[in-house]
Amino acid sequence: MPLENNQIYNMDCIDGLAQLEKNSIDLLLTDPPFGIDFHKVGTQYNRKQKELGKMYHEVSSEEYYDFTLNWLKPCWEAMKPSASGYIFSGWNHLGDILNALAQIGFRIINHIVWKYQFGVFTKKRFVTSHYHILYFTKLGVKEDRLRTFNRVPEYSSSPGKLYFEDVWRINRDYQKGGEKTPTRLPLAITDKCVRMGSNEGDTILEPFLGSGSVVLSAIKYNRQFIGFELSEKIYQIAERRIKDQIIDLGTKDTSLDFWLSDTGK
């Protein structure tokens, strides 16, 4: 059965990506596993073990480069020739992702730094207070005019000018309650990527869905979406968030009706 847009799938993204139609994706926007053992170093990332449960799937340091190649290669095949992408990364495997992107043929446009607030005191190391966002494209330099880069005024760094910096100061979400997803992206940052990197009606791919922030932004700004999540617990959290978003927005997009039907999500 072919995969459909405006759906999320509780499956390994490697299996899901292999089923995508070639040249069908306008924007890749994803937050893959960072390849760190949260149970050992969770306090450095403001994450407590009891909040993670068994939701987070680890990738070992030894496997990380091959793991990245294995999911990025089918993304290349699924992405349109004019497509671009954003990948979120911690510092520990940034080199693996950069090398994998280059190996496959992507061209890096920007290395964005996401600066966020922090609250974890460390005695003998600098406090981790940023993530990396790699912005890249399939296009060569000569064809770069075809790349979507929407100059959204509210994101300008200089009042009255369309000037966009590569350091983004956006706070992380505070999640209430006992069970929390380990790396939820704030909607402020997924909104920005979606609005600047795609147009209405475009299809956005999120291979590592997590709790669904990318999809929520896609729905909010009238983009199509498709996502994969391996963890059943996190998938269920994403389902609830997506359904709530559709209800709250009262969207008239009939392709989303399935989410609100008795037989749907």
pLDDT given at position 37? 57
Report the distance separating Cα 32 and Cα 65, nearest Å. Answer: 12
Residue 251: band (very low, low, confident or very high) from pLDDT cuts 50, 70, 90: confident
Backbone phi and psi for residue 203, each to the nearest 5 degrees, phi listed first: -105, 125
Average model confidence (pLDDT) across the chain = 88
Q: Which two tokens stand for residue 265?
A: 């999500």
Helix (H, G, I), strand (E, B) or coil at 70: helix
At 250, which amino acid appears? Answer: G
Q: Is 40 exposed, middle or buried (0-12, 13-18, 19+ CB in 10 A)?
A: exposed
pLDDT digits (tens, 9 = 90+) for 151-193: 999 999 988 889 999 999 999 876 665 456 667 899 999 999 9
Segment among 34-43, 140-149, 208-217, 243-252 with least mean pLDDT? 34-43
Q: Please check whether residue 134 is in contact with residue 86, taking contact to mean a CB–CB distance below 8 angstroms.
A: yes
For range 134-160, the mean pLDDT: 94
Set out the domains of the chain in order of their start, with CATH numbers: 22-199 (3.40.50.150)
For range 85-101, the mean pLDDT: 97
% of the chain at pLDDT higher than 70: 86
pTM listed for this prediction: 0.89
Task: Give the E-state strand segments of 152-191 in sequence order.
Answer: 167-169
Backbone phi and psi for residue 76, each to the nearest 5 degrees, phi listed first: -55, -45
Helix (H, G, I), strand (E, B) or coil at 56: coil
Single out the residue of 55, 24, 26, 22 nearest to residue 39, CA to CA.
55
**215, HSE (Cβ side, Cα atoms, 13 Å):** 30
Residue 127: band (very low, low, confident or very high) from pLDDT cuts 50, 70, 90: confident
Residue of higher predicted confidence among 65 and 2: 65
Contacts of 63 (CB under 8 A, 6+ apart): none
Report the distance separating Cα 203 and Cα 173, nearest Å. Answer: 25
The pairing of beta strand 25-30 with beta strand 224-228: unpaired
pLDDT digits (tens, 9 = 90+) for 102-113: 999 999 999 999
At 38, which amino acid appears? Answer: F
Report the distance separating Cα 168 and Cα 150, nearest Å. Answer: 16
